């Protein structure tokens, strides 16, 4: 999941659960979010500015002024944020928030914020159950803030009950779900089939011919299409990528023949077909029943051509919009345009192994897109962002 470019303001108040913030920040940063952390003065008793700023890659503020005499503008930080999360939110900070007791940087920033505010309370069980906390949480909800409830379990006091701050994964999931829900459902009602990953062509029961494709590009496309409301059929060769999305139907295959058969189980029902798989062009003619033994000869392997899945899709095209990939090392544009014609495609995505950071093993890619009449060039981006560019382009073509 990508939080690329999302601006997240994290306000930490003084509770023992503050140590969990490190994990939350690391997760957000990994997913591409920009993080600004502010803390109440008391939070510094639990975590250090240094540990947090190292992870968030930005200075952490606890006061309106820094030691070097600069003004830490609560208004600027508040208006910069796409979301604000107060975590852990102590009983004291919660009370100050809902009653406008603006006596520190966290509350002043909160009161200047126009973005959605998430609150993850953390306190001892009796404080959490106290009528004043309950009332304050109700007030926060009436302000349209989103409460991520405290969980049941062992508390710092040694008591057991509700009051533990939600785990960082739970908080991260709520934030990701929030950002997903803001995405326009531009592919609602469409079925998108995506091939991904490598294929493995067996030589014997233990060996195969394969390639270095990670499957990341295809999985990123599947995730992005699903966020836009599409039903996604993802047909992947062996890959360590995982996907957890109820709108994505994942079918795992091994060889090109299996991939072809799986594609044509669904072909008539799809609106868009995207072939990002690195399908092996050849397979061994014979698959040995037993493991091939080592001997003194130099063996030769006879290969036969694999089916070209995308070309077959192009030949049988009725209404489907077809997108191919071309991974080239020379005469890139000419080869890509040739494949667009030969495979009867509507669009082809070219990535050149000559571009640093592009290609199958990287987390980034640099692409050019060709249609029969147009061309668009993109900069080096994360594969999640490349998936967005590709689907934006598909959507524009579908509207034509």
* Smallest distance, ligand C5P to C-beta of residue 63, A: 55
* Smallest distance, ligand C5P to C-beta of residue 249, A: 19
Q: By CB under 6 A, what part of segment 177-196 binds ligand C5P? A: 195
152 is catalytic: no
Inter-residue contact 94 to 136 (CB < 8 Å) = yes
* Smallest distance, ligand C5P to C-beta of residue 335, A: 8
Q: Rounded distance, CA 269 to CA 131, Å? A: 56
Residue 306 binding ligand C5P, by CB under 6 A: yes
Return the H-helix or E-strand segment holding 340.
helix 332-342
**Hey, what long-range contacts does 95-103 have (CB within 8 A, 24 or more apart)?**
95/132, 95/136, 97/136, 97/140, 98/136, 98/139, 98/140, 98/143, 99/136
Inter-residue contact 82 to 182 (CB < 8 Å) = no
Closer Cβ to ligand C5P, 20 or 216, answer by number = 216
Judged by CB under 6 A, which stretch of 10-18, 69-77, 100-108, 320-328 contacts ligand C5P? 320-328
* Smallest distance, ligand C5P to C-beta of residue 215, A: 12
Burial of 92 from C-beta contacts in 10 A (0-12 / 13-18 / 19+): middle
Residue 309 binding ligand C5P, by CB under 6 A: yes
Closer Cβ to ligand C5P, 85 or 194, answer by number = 194
Question: What track of x and - describes contact with ligand C5P for positions 322 through 361 (by CB under 6 A)?
Answer: --xxx------------x----------------------
Inter-residue contact 317 to 347 (CB < 8 Å) = no
Bridge pairing between strands 347-352 and 321-328: parallel
Q: Which of 1, 78, 97, 277 is close enough to bind ligand C5P by CB under 6 A?
A: 277
Inter-residue contact 192 to 231 (CB < 8 Å) = yes
Rama region for 298: left / alpha / beta (φ>0; ψ in -120 to 50; rest): beta
Judged by CB under 6 A, which stretch of 29-37, 110-118, 321-329, 392-400 contacts ligand C5P? 321-329
Residue 279 binding ligand C5P, by CB under 6 A: yes
Spatial CA neighbour of 233 closest among 177, 277, 273? 273
**Residues that contact ligand C5P, how many (by CB under 6 A):** 15
The set of residues, in sequence order, having a beta carbon less than 8 Å from that of 278 and lying 6+ positions away, is 197, 198, 199, 211, 212, 213, 237, 327, 360
Closer Cβ to ligand C5P, 105 or 193, answer by number = 193
Q: Which of 55, 91, 234, 310 is close enough to bind ligand C5P by CB under 6 A?
A: 310
Closer Cβ to ligand C5P, 310 or 390, answer by number = 310
The set of residues, in sequence order, having a beta carbon less than 8 Å from that of 374 and lying 6+ positions away, is none
Judged by CB under 6 A, which stretch of 6-14, 41-49, 94-102, 277-285 contacts ligand C5P? 277-285
Closer Cβ to ligand C5P, 108 or 196, answer by number = 196
Closer Cβ to ligand C5P, 180 or 312, answer by number = 312
Per the omega criterion (within 30 degrees of 0), is the bond before 81 cis?
no
CA distances from 24 to 15, 33, 42, 87, 105 (A): 16, 11, 20, 10, 21
Closer Cβ to ligand C5P, 275 or 394, answer by number = 275
Residue 256 binding ligand C5P, by CB under 6 A: yes
Of 92, 211, 335, 344, which is the active-site residue? 211
Tokens 């073509």, residue?
397
Q: Which residues contribute to the site for ligand C5P (CB under 6 A)?
A: 195, 256, 275-277, 279, 281, 306, 308-310, 324-326, 339
List active site positions: 211
């Amino acid at each position: 999941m990508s939080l690329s470019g999302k601006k997240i303001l994290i306000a930490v108040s003084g509770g023992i659960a503050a140590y969990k913030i490190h994990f939350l920040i690391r997760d957000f940063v990994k997913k591409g979010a920009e993080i600004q952390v502010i803390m109440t003065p008391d939070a510094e008793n639990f975590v250090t500015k240094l540990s947090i700023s190292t992870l968030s890659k930005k200075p952490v503020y606890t006061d309106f002024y820094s030691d070097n005499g600069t003004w830490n503008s609560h208004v600027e930080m508040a208006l910069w944020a796409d979301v604000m999360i107060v975590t852990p939110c102590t009983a004291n900070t919660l009370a100050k928030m809902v009653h406008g007791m603006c006596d520190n940087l966290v509350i002043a920033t909160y009161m200047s914020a126009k973005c959605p505010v998430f609150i993850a309370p953390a306190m001892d069980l009796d404080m959490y159950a106290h009528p004043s906390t309950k009332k304050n949480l109700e007030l926060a909800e009436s302000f349209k803030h989103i409460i991520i409830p405290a969980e049941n379990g062992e508390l710092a006091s040694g008591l057991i009950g509700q009051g533990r701050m939600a785990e960082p994964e739970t908080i991260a999931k709520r934030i990701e779900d929030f950002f997903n829900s803001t995405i326009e459902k531009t592919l609602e009602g469409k079925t998108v089939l995506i091939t991904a990953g490598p294929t493995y062509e067996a030589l014997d029961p233990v060996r195969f011919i394969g390639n270095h494709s990670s499957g990341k590009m295809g999985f990123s496309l599947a995730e992005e299409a699903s966020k836009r409301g599409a039903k996604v059929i993802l047909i992947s060769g062996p890959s360590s990528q995982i996907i957890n999305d109820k709108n994505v139907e994942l079918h795992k295959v091994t060889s090109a023949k299996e991939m072809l058969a799986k594609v044509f189980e669904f072909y008539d029902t799809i609106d868009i077909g995207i072939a990002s798989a690195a399908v092996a062009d050849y397979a061994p003619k014979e698959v040995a029943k037993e493991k091939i033994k080592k001997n003194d000869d130099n063996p030769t392997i006879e290969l036969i051509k694999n089916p070209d899945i995308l070309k077959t899709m192009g030949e049988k095209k009725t209404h489907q919009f077809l997108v191919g990939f071309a991974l080239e090392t020379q005469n890139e544009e000419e080869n890509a345009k040739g494949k667009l014609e030969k495979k009867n495609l509507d669009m082809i995505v070219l990535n050149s192994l000559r571009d640093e950071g592009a290609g199958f093993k990287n987390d980034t890619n640099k692409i050019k897109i060709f249609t029969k009449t147009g061309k668009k060039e993109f900069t080096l981006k994360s594969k999640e962002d490349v998936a967005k560019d590709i689907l934006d382009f598909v959507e524009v073509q579908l509207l034509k």
